[in-house]
């Protein structure tokens, strides 16, 4: 940084004012000196005139001296002495005049003064040489000679000195005038130059600042500004460049926000309004991204659960003859789908004394089937405790030294264990035990809970099939028992038919009741985008939630359905087009419980005839669905029994023909 950049603009103007003052003082002093010199020359002329005034007095005294020479009554010596005194005084005055600096600086005046002093000396000598007794006839000649020889040259010298003094005064005045003009010219030129350079520098800096401001207004400023010639301008350029760097930092920060990258390094100052507003926006965007991530994760978990349930339903339908094979397939699928290490499936057994125990029917660990022959009485070990309490057991972070835990998975003790009871009509059908070296997430635990009863139903159906097959085998050995069983089966069939008809009647009654409830119970409104906008208290009570937990949520967040399927999109497009839709849907509550709703969706038109919202009237049909599933299961069992009867009849006919 040079001197001009280090120097403040204020100091520079102070320097300029100081220079102006100095030039003014010098000019004033020069002018005063000139006036003083002119006044001094004027005083000198007066002094010369005063000195030469004595010449006239001396002329009169010489005349008196000449008269005294002819008049014996006058004292000649006294007059001579007065002439000598006047000559001495005049000579002394001229000597002082000769020593004046202004006189010495001239070329001719000292010479004239010397002539005057020589004339004075000649007067004294002439007066001294005249005898005191000169005749009366000679005095006029003497005085006339002195006047012509001495007084007239003195008067001429006086005129010459006055002329020389006038010329010297004129030359001195001209000299000082030229000096003053020269000094004023130099001063004004220097001032104009300094002011011009300063103003040019200031204009260039102001022009750069104006261009910088215009670029900032257009938002097109990239290059830094460099201001010079003044500490204030250097500081302004530093501040503007700092502002530009901060703007660039904010732009980079906004770019990272748009790209979804980490932007936690930006920290604006407390007085930076724009920076703090950007940070507020970034926080909102971060929360929005987190919410979107959580929503996607929730959708992913929901899709994972739905896909898993579908796969297990398909698996349970794949094997209908061997319960152990189905159990192995189920436990293998469950272990691999959850990506855990071990799994065991126990079935509840009962002896003639009604004592119940759990028997290992299938095990899978480390990608292989395990054949474990382990039994647990109800209340014994973790499986027996789970069966006895009929509650799920989840033990997290089990220590390695915890040896009191008895598990059916073998000697290796995992860090986490989950045991889920398999229930059939509130009765324990078996226990599902899973072991893992990692903690199971909530949606995985919920998934196991959801499929547990389905697994129990599937295994029960297969075990019932096995028992039926065993009965058929025994019927071939004992015809009498077959006849008896046929009668029993016929009676059972009649009972089942009666039960089926009774169930159908109940189903019809339930349908009527549900239809009435459908018209007057739970009511909600959706926006055309599928989000809850209003919901009544009955609906909230049914969903086990508060209003702020439901309002604003999407329909797919409660309905067990994939919102990305074409069928689901067509469903909402039909509603937007004004179509009234009735459908049964499964809802999953916040507690994880699943319920069935029979819902009527009615589009509501606004004044323009467009659909503004969707009115939803729902009724709980969970019980009906469960009964329908029970009826379907009973119908399937009845169909199976009918097939068995047909086969028995065919066998009996064949036996009759043989005998």
595's CB contacts (< 8 A; 6+ apart) are 542, 586, 587, 589, 620, 622
By DSSP bridging, strand 375-377 and strand 368-370 are unpaired
Are residues 415 and 543 located together in one domain of the fold? Answer: no
Are residues 412 and 548 located together in one domain of the fold? Answer: no
Chain position carrying tokens 């349908």: 511
Are residues 179 and 327 located together in one domain of the fold? Answer: no
CB 422, CB 327: distance < 8 Å: no
Last residue of a domain, one of 603, 620, 637: 620
Q: How confident is the model at residue 409 (pLDDT cuts 50, 70, 90)?
A: very low
Mean pLDDT of all residues in 364-383: 84
Kindly list the distances between the CA atom of residue 58 and the CA atoms of 79, 145, 146, 359, in Å, as whole numbers in the listed order.
11, 14, 11, 170
Of 64-68, 375-379, 491-495, the least confident: 64-68
Of 21-35, 86-100, 160-174, 500-514, the least confident: 500-514
Of 380-384, 593-597, 648-652, 655-659, the least confident: 655-659
What gap in Å lies between CA 491 and CA 493, rounded to an integer?
A: 5
Does residue 238 belong to any structural domain of this protein?
Answer: no
Mean pLDDT of all residues in 524-531: 89
What gap in Å lies between CA 83 and CA 225, rounded to an integer?
A: 92
pLDDT of residue 346: 92
CA 645, 649, 654, 656 dihedral sign is positive
Write 180-188 long-range contacts (CB < 8 A, 24+): 180/27, 180/30, 180/31, 180/34, 183/23, 183/26, 183/27, 183/30, 184/27, 187/23, 187/24, 187/26, 187/27
* N-to-C CA span, the chain: 128
What's 113's domain CATH number? 1.20.120
pLDDT of residue 127: 72
Q: What is the pLDDT of residues 536-555, one digit of tens each?
A: 888 888 888 888 888 888 88
Check whether 220 has a pLDDT greater than 80: no
Last residue of a domain, one of 449, 477, 505: 477
The two three-digit tokens of residue 482, written as one number: 């077959």
Does residue 66 belong to any structural domain of this protein?
Answer: yes
Are residues 438 and 552 located together in one domain of the fold? Answer: no
The percentage of the chain sitting over the pLDDT mark of 90, rounded to a whole number, equals 1
Highest-confidence segment of 283-292, 394-403, 520-529: 520-529
pLDDT of residue 356: 86
Q: What is the pLDDT of residues 27-60, one digit of tens each?
A: 777 777 777 776 776 777 777 777 777 676 776 7
Q: How many residues does the chain have?
A: 659
Does residue 299 belong to any structural domain of this protein?
Answer: no
Does residue 185 belong to any structural domain of this protein?
Answer: yes
- The count of structural domains within the chain is 3
Number of H helices, E strands in the chain: 17, 12
Does residue 496 belong to any structural domain of this protein?
Answer: no
CB 422, CB 361: distance < 8 Å: no
Of 206-220, 386-400, 590-604, 621-635, the least confident: 206-220
Does residue 90 belong to any structural domain of this protein?
Answer: yes
Are residues 429 and 526 located together in one domain of the fold? Answer: no
Question: 557: domain range?
Answer: 521-620
What's 413's domain CATH number? 3.30.450.40
Q: How confident is the model at residue 469 (pLDDT cuts 50, 70, 90)?
A: confident
Q: Cβ of 52: how many Cβ atoms within 10 Å? A: 21
Are residues 370 and 431 located together in one domain of the fold? Answer: yes
What's 572's domain CATH number? 3.30.450.20
Q: What is the pLDDT of residues 339-373, one digit of tens each?
A: 888 899 998 888 777 788 888 988 988 878 888 88
- For the stretch 436-475, what's the b/e string if a residue is b when 16 or more beta carbons lie within 10 angstroms of its beta carbon? beeebeeebbbbbebbbbbbbbbbbbbbebeeeeeeeeeb
Are residues 536 and 469 located together in one domain of the fold? Answer: no
What gap in Å lies between CA 167 and CA 392, rounded to an integer?
A: 135
Q: How confident is the model at residue 70 (pLDDT cuts 50, 70, 90)?
A: low
Q: What is the pLDDT of residues 221-261, one digit of tens each?
A: 667 777 776 677 777 777 777 777 777 777 777 777 766 66
Q: What is the mean pLDDT of the chain?
A: 76
Chain position carrying tokens 């959580």: 294
Q: Give me the phi and psi of 240, to 5 degrees please.
A: -65, -40
CB 598, CB 514: distance < 8 Å: yes
Q: What is the pTM of this model?
A: 0.38
Does residue 482 belong to any structural domain of this protein?
Answer: no
Are residues 441 and 581 located together in one domain of the fold? Answer: no
Q: How confident is the model at residue 558 (pLDDT cuts 50, 70, 90)?
A: confident
What gap in Å lies between CA 559 and CA 82, rounded to an integer?
A: 151
Last residue of a domain, one of 451, 477, 503: 477
Does residue 487 belong to any structural domain of this protein?
Answer: no
Are residues 568 and 453 located together in one domain of the fold? Answer: no
Helix, strand or coil, per DSSP, at residue 402: coil
Are residues 471 and 592 located together in one domain of the fold? Answer: no
pLDDT of residue 135: 46
Are residues 452 and 537 located together in one domain of the fold? Answer: no
Q: How confident is the model at residue 199 (pLDDT cuts 50, 70, 90)?
A: confident
pLDDT of residue 137: 46
Q: Give me the phi and psi of 525, to 5 degrees please.
A: -125, 140
Q: What is the pLDDT of residues 484-495, one digit of tens each?
A: 766 776 787 777
109 burial (CB, 10 Å; 0-12 / 13-18 / 19+) is buried
- Label residue 26 left, alpha or beta by phi (over 0 means left) and psi (-120 to 50 means alpha): alpha
DSSP string, 84-153: HHHHHHHHHHHHHHHTSHHHHTSSSHHHHHHHHHHHHHHHHHHHHHS-TT--HHHHHHHHHHHIIIIIHH
Are residues 452 and 598 located together in one domain of the fold? Answer: no
Q: Which residue has the higher pLDDT, 192 or 144?
A: 192
Q: What is the pLDDT of residues 106-152, one digit of tens each?
A: 666 777 777 777 777 777 777 777 665 544 445 555 555 666 666 66
């Amino acid at each position: 940084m040079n001197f001009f950049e280090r120097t403040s603009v204020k100091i520079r103007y102070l320097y300029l004012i100081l220079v102006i003052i100095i030039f003014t003082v010098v000019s004033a002093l020069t002018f005063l000196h000139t006036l003083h010199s002119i006044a001094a020359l004027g005083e000198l002329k007066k002094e010369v005139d005063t000195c030469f005034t004595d010449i006239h007095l001396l002329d009169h005294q010489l005349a008196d001296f000449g008269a005294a020479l002819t008049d014996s009554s006058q004292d000649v010596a006294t007059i001579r002495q007065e002439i000598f005194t006047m000559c001495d005084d005049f000579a002394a005055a001229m000597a002082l005049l000769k020593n004046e600096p202004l006189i010495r600086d001239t070329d001719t005046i000292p010479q004239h003064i010397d002539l005057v002093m020589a004339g004075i000396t000649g007067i004294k000598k002439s007066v001294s040489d005249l005898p005191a007794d000169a005749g009366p006839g000679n005095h006029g000649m003497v005085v006339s000679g002195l006047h012509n020889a001495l007084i007239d040259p003195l008067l001429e010298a006086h005129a010459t000195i006055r002329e020389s003094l006038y010329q010297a005064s004129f030359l001195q005045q001209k000299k000082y005038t030229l000096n003053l003009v020269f000094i004023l010219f130099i001063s004004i030129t220097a001032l104009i130059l300094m002011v011009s350079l300063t103003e040019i520098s200031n204009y260039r800096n102001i022009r750069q600042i104006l261009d910088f401001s215009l670029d900032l207004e257009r938002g097109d400023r990239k290059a830094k500004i460099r201001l010079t010639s003044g500490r204030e301008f250097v500081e302004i350029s530093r501040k503007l460049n700092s502002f530009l760097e901060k703007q660039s930092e904010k732009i980079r920060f906004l770019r990272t926000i748009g790209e979804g990258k980490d932007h936690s390094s930006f920290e604006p100052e407390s007085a930076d309004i724009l920076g703090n507003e950007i940070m507020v926006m970034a926080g909102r965007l971060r929360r929005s991204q987190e919410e979107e991530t959580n929503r996607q994760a929730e959708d992913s978990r929901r899709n994972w659960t739905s896909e898993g349930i579908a796969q297990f339903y398909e698996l349970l339908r794949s094997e209908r003859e061997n319960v152990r094979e189905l159990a192995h397939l189920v436990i293998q699928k469950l272990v691999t789908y959850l990506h855990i290490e071990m799994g065991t499936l126990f079935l509840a057994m009962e002896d003639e004394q009604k004592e119940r125990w759990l028997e290992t029917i299938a095990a899978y660990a480390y990608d292989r089937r395990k054949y474990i022959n382990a039994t647990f009485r109800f209340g014994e070990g973790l499986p027996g405790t789970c069966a006895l309490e009929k509650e799920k057991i989840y033990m997290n972070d089990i220590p390695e030294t915890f040896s009191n835990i008895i598990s059916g998975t073998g000697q290796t003790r995992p860090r986490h264990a989950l045991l889920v009871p398999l229930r059939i009509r509130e009765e324990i059908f078996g226990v599902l035990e899973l072991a893992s070296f990692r903690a199971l997430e909530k949606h995985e635990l919920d998934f196991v809970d959801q499929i547990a009863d389905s697994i129990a139903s599937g295994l029960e159906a297969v075990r019932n099939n096995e028992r039926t097959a065993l009965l058929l085998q025994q019927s071939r050995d004992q015809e009498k028992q077959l006849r008896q069983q046929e009668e029993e089966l016929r009676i059972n069939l009649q009972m089942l038919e009666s039960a089926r008809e009774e169930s159908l009647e109940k189903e019809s009654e339930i349908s009527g009741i549900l239809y009435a409830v459908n018209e007057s119970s739970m009511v909600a409104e959706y926006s055309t985008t599928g989000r809850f906008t209003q919901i009544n208290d009955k609906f909230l009570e049914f969903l086990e939630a508060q209003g702020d937990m439901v309002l604003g949520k999407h329909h797919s967040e409660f309905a067990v359905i994939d919102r990305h399927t074409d069928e689901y999109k067509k469903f909402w497009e039909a509603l937007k087009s004004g179509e009234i839709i009735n459908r049964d849907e499964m809802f999953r509550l916040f507690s994880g419980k699943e319920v069935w709703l029979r819902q009527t969706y009615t589009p509501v038109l606004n004044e323009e005839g467009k659909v503004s919202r969707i009115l939803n009237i729902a009724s709980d049909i969970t019980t009906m669905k469960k009964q329908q599933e029970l009826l379907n299961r009973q119908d399937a069992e009845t169909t199976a029994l009918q097939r068995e009867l047909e086969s028995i009849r065919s066998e009996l006919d064949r036996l009759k023909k043989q005998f």
